[in-house]
Chains A and B, each alone.
Chain A
Amino acid sequence: MKEFLLFLPLTIIYLALKSTLFASFPLPDIPLIMVFYLASRKASTEGALFAFVLGYLDDAFSGGVIGTSSFALVVIYLAVHLLSMLVQFTSQAARAGGAAAAALVKGAAVYYILRYSNIDAYFLTHVVLQALVTGFFAPPVISALQRLVMLVTPRKFKDNES
C-alpha cells in the first residue's frame, strides 16, 4: 500500500510528461519497471491491482485502447511473481534482462491485441526499441525506487528495541 501511494503520483507525472513533452522520445517504460520491481520483491494482491491501475493509466494517458497495457502489466506481474520463485532478480544484469524481457512481453501483448483490433502497430520500432531502452534503464530505476521506499520506511534499530 505504501509503495502504491508512493509510485502512483510518480507514474502520473511520468505519463503526463511522456504523453506531452516527450511524446516522440523513446523513454523507458517506468510503470513496467515498477510492476517488475514490486512483483520480484514482494508480490501481493494489492500489487496485482496496482499493476492493473498503472496499465489503465498508461492507456488513458497514451490515448490507446483501454485494457491493453493493463492486461500486459497484470500478466507480467503474475509471470514475474511466479518466476521470482525460481530466479532471484537481485543483480543488475538480471534486472536489466528481466525488465527487457518483460517489456518485450508487454510490447508483444499490446501488439497482438492491437492487431486483433485492426489497429496498425510497428513491432520493431515500437516494441523492440522500447524493450531495449527499458532494459537499459531498469537497474538504475529500480535502485532509485528502492532508495525512495527506504526513505519513507522508518528504520528500526535493534539497540533501541527493548
Chain B
Amino acid sequence: MRSSERNIFSFLKKYQIIIVSSALALFSLHLALTDKKEYARGYILKEMISYTVTPVQGVVLGIQDSIRGVWADYFFLVGVKEENETLKKTMYSLVDENRRLKEEARQDDRLRALLEFKEALPYSTTGAAIIGFNMERWSRTVSIDKGSAEGIQKDHAAIAPGGVVGRIIEVNNGSSRVLLTTDLRSNIDVLIERSRVKGVVEGNGTDGLIMKYVRQIDEIQVGDQVVTSGLSGVFPKGLVVGEVTKVEKSTDNFFKHVEVRPAVDLGRLEEVLVLRERSFYNE
C-alpha cells in the first residue's frame, strides 16, 4: 500500500465518526428540506416506516380504547350507580307529583261538573265526598264525609250529575251512610220518561237494577229512560235513575221482567250531592 493511500485510510479511520455523522446530517437535512417539496427521495423510507409505525400506534390506541372501555363500562359505573339512585329518587318523586297533579286535575273536573249541576238544581244541596265503600252482595252502601253537623238527615236523597245515587240511611255527626240504588233493600218509585209507565226500581244486589210491577200491556222498550216519579217523597220528580237494557215476559204472565242499568257508575263515584229537603210530595 502506498503511503498516500495509507494516509487516506488513517484519516478516514481517525475521523470516521465525524465523517459519518456529517454525511448522515446532510442526508437528513436533504430529506427534511426536500420532503416539503414532495421530492420522492424520502418517500420510500417514509413508506417503509409507515408500515412499521402504524401497526404499533394501532396497537397502542387499541389498548387505550380497551382501557377506556373498561373504565367507562365498569369503574366509572361506581359513580353512575349513585347518580342512578339519585335520578331514580327524583324520578319517583316526579312521578308521584305528576300522579298527584293529574288526580287534582281530575278532581277539579269532577267538582266543576258537580258545582254546575248543583247550581242548575232548584234545591238546596250539600256536596260530600265518598270516604268508604261497602259493596257486599247483601249490602251496597257508601260512606260520605258529611253528617248531621252539615244538616244532613236520614232519607235525604243523594244524587250525582248523572242521576240518582241513593238515599241516606244512617247519619252521624261528621259522616253519613248512603244506601245505593243497587242495594237489595233499595226501592224507588219511577216512571218511564217516554211512555209514563210507572213502576218500582229495586237493586239486584250486583251492579244492576230491576224495574218491578210493569204490566204486560205497558209500553216499554230497551233504551227507555227511567226517571223518578216523586211519589216516594225521597227523590224529586224527574231525576234519571237509569236506562232500560232488557225487557222480557215474566213467568207469571202478568208483569214484565225489566232490567235497568243505573245512570251513575256507582263503582267510580267519588262525590255526591245530598238534597237537604226531606219531602218532595208537593211537586
Q: Identify which of B17, B31, B53, B64 contacts A70 (C-beta below 8 A).
A: B31
Cβ of B120 under 8 Å from chain A: no
Any B CB within 8 A of the CB of A68: yes
B54 CB to nearest A CB, Å: 9
Docked-complex contact A67 and B22, CB < 8 angstroms: no
Asked whether, in the complex, the Cβ of A71 is within 8 Å of the Cβ of B20, the reply is no
Q: Chain B contacts of A16 at CB under 8 A?
A: 53, 56-57, 59-60
Q: Are B25 and A75 within 8 A (Cβ)?
A: yes
Size category, B interface: 20 to 34
Complex Cα spacing A67 to B43, Å: 11
Q: Which of A66-113 touch B at CB < 8 Å?
A: 66-68, 70-71, 74-75, 77-78, 81-82, 113
What separation, in Å, do the CA atoms of A21 and B56 have in the docked complex? 12
Q: Are B33 and A78 in contact (CB under 8 A)?
A: no
With beta carbons under 8 angstroms apart, the residue of A57, A60, A78 that contacts B18 is: A78
A45: B residues at CB distance < 8 A: 16-17, 20
Q: Tell yes or no: B124 within 8 A of A by CB.
A: no
Q: Do A68 and B32 touch across chains, with their CB atoms under 8 A apart?
A: yes
Interchain CA distance A20-B50 in the complex, whole Å: 15
On whether the beta carbons of A65 and B57 are closer than 8 Å, the reply is: no
- The answer to the question of B49 belonging to the interface, with a C-beta cut-off of 8 Å to chain A, is yes
For B64, list chain A residues within 8 Å (CB): 20-21
- A17 and B60 in contact (CB under 8 A), knowing A67-B42, A78-B21, A117-B33? yes
A55 close to chain B: CB less than 8 A: yes
- Give Cα A20 to B25, complex, Å: 28
> A61, B57: Cβ atoms under 8 Å?
yes
Give the distance to chain B from A86, nearest Cβ to Cβ, in Å. Answer: 15
B28 at the interface (CB under 8 A from A): yes
Query: Of B18, B29, B30, B45, which one neighbours A56 at CB under 8 angstroms?
Result: B45
Alpha-carbon distance between A66 and B27 when the two chains are bound, in angstroms: 11
Q: Does any Cβ of B come within 8 Å of A52's Cβ?
A: yes
Q: Please tell me if B70 contacts chain A, counting CB pairs below 8 Å.
A: no
In the complex, what residue of chain A is closest to B30 when comparing beta carbons? A67
Judge if A43 is at the interface, Cβ distance under 8 Å.
yes
Instruction: Please name all residues of chain A whose beta carbon is closer than 8 Å to the beta carbon of B59 when the two chains form the complex.
Output: 16
Is residue B61 within 8 Å, beta carbon to beta carbon, of the partner chain? yes
Binding site for B on A (CB under 8 A): 12, 16-17, 19-21, 43-45, 47-49, 51-52, 55-57, 60-61, 65-68, 70-71, 74-75, 77-78, 81-82, 113, 116-119
Chain B residues with CB under 8 Å of chain A are 16-18, 20-22, 24-25, 27-33, 35-36, 42, 45-46, 49-50, 53, 56-57, 59-61, 64
CB pairs A–B below 8 angstroms (21 shown) = A16-B56, A16-B57, A16-B59, A19-B57, A20-B64, A21-B64, A60-B50, A65-B35, A65-B36, A66-B31, A66-B32, A66-B46, A67-B28, A70-B24, A70-B28, A70-B31, A71-B25, A74-B24, A77-B21, A113-B32, A117-B35
Identify 4 new A-B residue pairs, CB closer than 8 A, beyond the known A17-B60, A60-B53. Answer: A52-B24, A67-B30, A70-B28, A75-B21
